[in-house]
Structure 1
C-alpha cells in the first residue's frame, strides 16, 4: 500500500476556502470543497464524473450493496453519473470532514492518454469493474493537489496553471493501481465508454419509457452484455438506475418549486402517484410530504 500524504498546508488551505458546510465552489473552474462539521445520515445525490480527494475525516459512499470508504489520504474516482448515498463517518466542529471534488470530463482522460500511450494497454484490476475506483494518494499526487490549491491564493495563476495541474492529476490517476479501469473511460469503444454513453442517455431521457434493447443496440452491445456490464459498472440494472434518477429529480423539484408529490410524479415520468409515493418512501425512508418537510427544516436550521 502506498503511504498516504496529506500535508498540514493542504488541510489549512482547504479549511480556509470551505467556509460553510456543504459544497463550496472555488475560483478554480471545476474545483469544489465539500465540508461537514458533523456526522451525517444517508445523503442521496448523483455523482458526476469526478475525482474526490479526502483531506480530513471519513465518508462512506454507498451504491446498492457496495460500500466505498474513503479516509484521509484516499481518493475516489467516479467515471460516470451515478446515483449514490453518502454518509460522513468522521467529522466534528474542530476537525470537519473535508474533501476536494474535481470535475473530470471523459475527453480529459482521452487527451491525456493520447500523450501517454504506455498507460493505454494497462489491464484493469480484477476488482475494478465498478465505475467507482478508490486508491491511495501518493506523494506525487499530493504534491500536485497542493500546487492546485495554492492557486486559490494567487488568482492570476489559475487560468494558466490550474488546467495543467488538473491534467497532471489525471496522469497520476492513470498511473495508480486503479489506472487501468480509469483509462477505460477515455478509450472509445471500451466497455466503460459504452456504458457511460448509455448512462448519459438515461439521464437525458429519464422521464420517458425507454426500450433498453434499443439502447443496447445504439451503443453496440448485445442486450445480454448490456445488462451484464451495466450492472457490473453501476451496481444496478438500467431500470433501477432510471428510477433513482427520477426520484432524485422529483425530490429536487418538490424542494425548489413546492409542488405536491402527485404533480411532480407525472412530471418525472410516473403514471401512478401511489407507485411514486411507495418507491419514494422505499428509497428515501420517508413518504414525500414528510421527507420534504424535514429537508426544509434542516435547511432553515443550517
Structure 2
C-alpha cells in the first residue's frame, strides 16, 4: 500500500513534528513516556538488536526488519508491531539529507493494552485460532495517523503531557486493537494463548541465556510439551530456542566489548561460551566481522549502527 492523498496531510505534519524534535541523526527519547523519535539522513548498515514489544510508525523513508530469514519492508503507509522480545536485524533502506528517514516508536504498555483487550468487543470477521508471528506488518489508515498525531502534538505543550498523553496513547492502542492486525495483537494478550506460552519461554531464556539448558526444561517453564514448544517457538520467532539463545549471547557479548572495555575472550566466557574459536566464528557469522574489527567499526561510525 502506497500513501494516498488522504494520508498526505497527516504524514506531512508528523514529519514536521519529528524533524522539529530531532536535532541530528539518531534515536531520541521524548518527554512522553515510552515514546521515541528516530531520524536518519542516510541509509544505515544492518544493525542487530533485541527489539522489545513496540509499535513503529514510519512517516518518511523506509526500513527493513529481518527476523531470521524473513524480511519485513515498510514505509509511510505501513506500521510494524513487535509483540515479544525478538533478536532482529534492522536497516534503513531509504533516506537522504533532503528527505531523511523519520519514525516514531512507542514501546507497548502490555498490561494497559491487556486491560483494553478485555474491555473491547472483537470486530466481526476476525480470523480465529493459531499462533501468530512475533512481528506484524499492517497498513496505516488515516484514522490511525490521526491518533498518532494527537499524541505527537503534545510535544509542543509539555504542561499537557501528564494528563493528555495517556488519553492519546489509549486512542492509538484502540486503533491497534481494531485495525487489520487486531486478531494478531489480541493473541499476544490472551492469557492462555500459544503466544503467551512462547513468551514465558522467551522470558526464561533471557534470564538464563548464559547457562546450558535442555529443551525439556524450557518446555516445562512454558507449560508445553517439547515438540509443541519447538513448533510454536519457531512460529513466533522464526528460530529455535537454541538459536534464540545464541543470538542473545552474541548480542550481549558485543555490548560488553563495546561498553565495558573487556576483551573478546572475557566477553565470550561471560555469556556462556567455552570455546573462544567457536565464539569468534559465530560472532563473525552474525555481525559480519570478527569482534575486534566489528567493535572498531562501531566506535568509528556509531550513528550508522544505532538502534533504529
TM over 0.5: yes
> Cα deviations across residues 123-170 of structure 1 (Å, max 9, x unaligned)?
3598x8211001111121111100100110001111111112212211
> Cα deviations across residues 173-226 of structure 1 (Å, max 9, x unaligned)?
111121101111111010111111211111111111122212212222111111
- Structure 1 distance, partners of 2:203, 2:274, is 23
> Cα deviations across residues 223-272 of structure 1 (Å, max 9, x unaligned)?
11111000010011010011001111110111111211000100011111
SS of corresponding position for 2:136: strand
Please give the TM-score of this superposition, normalised by the length of structure 1. Answer: 0.94
Structure 1 residue 102: Cα displacement: 0.2
Contiguous gaps of at least 5 residues in structure 2: none
Contiguous gaps of at least 5 residues in structure 1: none
Q: What are the equivalent positions in structure 2 for 1:1-302 lying under 5 Å apart?
A: 5=7, 6-119=10-123, 122-123=126-127, 129-299=132-302
- Structure 1 distance, partners of 2:303, 2:97, is 19
User: Which gives a bigger RCO, structure 1 or 2 (Cα 8 Å, sep 6+)?
Assistant: 2
SS of corresponding position for 1:44: strand
Please give the TM-score of this superposition, normalised by the length of structure 2. Answer: 0.93
Conserved 8 A contact 1:184-1:192:
yes
- Structure 1 distance, partners of 2:145, 2:186, is 20
- Structure 2 distance, partners of 1:166, 1:194, is 27
Change over 3 Å in CA distance of 1:48–1:137 after alignment to 2: same
Structure 1 residue 121: Cα displacement: 9.1
SS of corresponding position for 1:100: strand
Structure 1 residue 300: Cα displacement: 8.8
Structure 1 residue 108: Cα displacement: 2.3
SS of corresponding position for 2:188: helix
- Structure 1 distance, partners of 2:243, 2:190, is 26
Conserved 8 A contact 2:43-2:93:
yes
> Cα deviations across residues 260-293 of structure 1 (Å, max 9, x unaligned)?
1000100011111111111001100100111111
- Structure 1 distance, partners of 2:2, 2:118, is 27
**Total equivalences in the alignment:** 301
- Structure 2 distance, partners of 1:245, 1:227, is 18
Root mean square deviation, CA, Å: 2.0
Structure 1 residue 75: Cα displacement: 0.5
